[in-house]
């Protein structure tokens, strides 16, 4: 037996979410329609409103309804320190877990020529303009230590260097509480190469 057209359409629509397969979409659909019609209506209104009104901050490219997000508009942030991240979710993670007081720039991806992602797709022209404006004195590269992340970090570091901007990179290595025998070789190599003075 197959589901009705509208039920099937809702199931298929839910599958656009990351990690949601056929069974999960079916479970969500049946829950919303059988047990929580008010929740379904609220969800539909929230999705429609967000899809219509949420854009990106013209300075950092994080998701917001405003032309400039709350972080970039804050007078308490140091605009001379710019943290470069891959995704908007990285901004939330860093802001929640650290006492970082600068501003951000969201790449929304990493350089990947094989996938057709070059400097233009990452907004590196806008980043170049910020560097040229002279306000930024330091960048912190907070991209993942993958092949694409390393290539992106190198590219951005060279751009910053051309403007005399100091470049640092967040540390990568052994996690707090981790045991060396269980850490992969790449992580150990990074941790060893990036060692710091103990005292």
**Cβ atoms of residues 50 and 39 within 8 Å:** no
For residue 186, tell me if it sits in a domain: no
Quick check: is 88 in a domain? yes
Domain that holds residue 17: 6-52
Predicted pLDDT of residue 197: 55
DSSP string, 152-199: HHHHHHHHHHHTT-EEEE---SSPTT--GGGS-HHHHHHHHHT-----
Q: 88-100 pLDDT, tens per residue?
A: 999 998 988 888 9
Asked if 139 contacts 169 with a C-beta cutoff of 8 angstroms, the reply is no
* CATH number of the domain residue 100 falls in: 3.40.1360.10
Assess whether 83 and 12 both reside in one domain: no
101 and 143 both lie in a single domain:
yes
- Contact in structure between 20 and 28 (CB atoms under 8 Å): yes
pLDDT-flagged residues of the chain (< 70): 1, 174, 179-181, 192-199
Write the pLDDT tens digit of every residue in 126-157: 999 999 999 999 999 999 888 888 889 999 99
**Is 136 found in the same domain as 101?**
yes
Number of structural domains the chain divides into: 2
Shared domain for 90 and 165, answered yes or no, is: yes
pLDDT (0 to 100) of residue 164: 93
Helix (H) or strand (E) holding 141: strand 138-142
Same domain (yes/no): 30, 91: no
Domain assignment of residue 196, yes or no: no
């Amino acid at each position: 037996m197959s589901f009705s057209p509208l039920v099937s359409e809702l199931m298929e629509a839910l599958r656009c979410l990351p990690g949601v397969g056929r069974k999960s979409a079916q479970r969500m659909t049946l829950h919303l329609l059988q047990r929580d019609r008010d929740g379904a209506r609220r969800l539909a209104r929230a999705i429609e409103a967000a899809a219509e009104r949420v854009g990106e901050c013209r300075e950092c490219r994080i998701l917001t309804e405003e032309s400039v997000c709350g972080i970039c508009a804050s007078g308490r942030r140091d605009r001379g320190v710019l943290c470069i991240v891959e995704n908007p979710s990285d901004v939330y993670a860093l802001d929640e877990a650290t006492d970082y007081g600068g501003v951000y720039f969201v790449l929304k991806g990493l350089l990947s020529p094989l996938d057709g992602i070059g400097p233009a797709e990452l907004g590196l022209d806008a980043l170049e303009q910020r560097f040229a404006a002279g306000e930024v004195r330091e960048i912190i590269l907070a991209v993942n230590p993958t092949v694409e992340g390393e290539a992106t970090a190198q590219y951005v570091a060279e751009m910053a260097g051309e403007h005399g901007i100091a470049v640092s990179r967040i540390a990568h290595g052994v996690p707090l509480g981790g045991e060396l025998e269980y850490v992969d070789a790449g992580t150990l190599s990074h941790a060893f190469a990036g060692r710091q003075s103990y005292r």
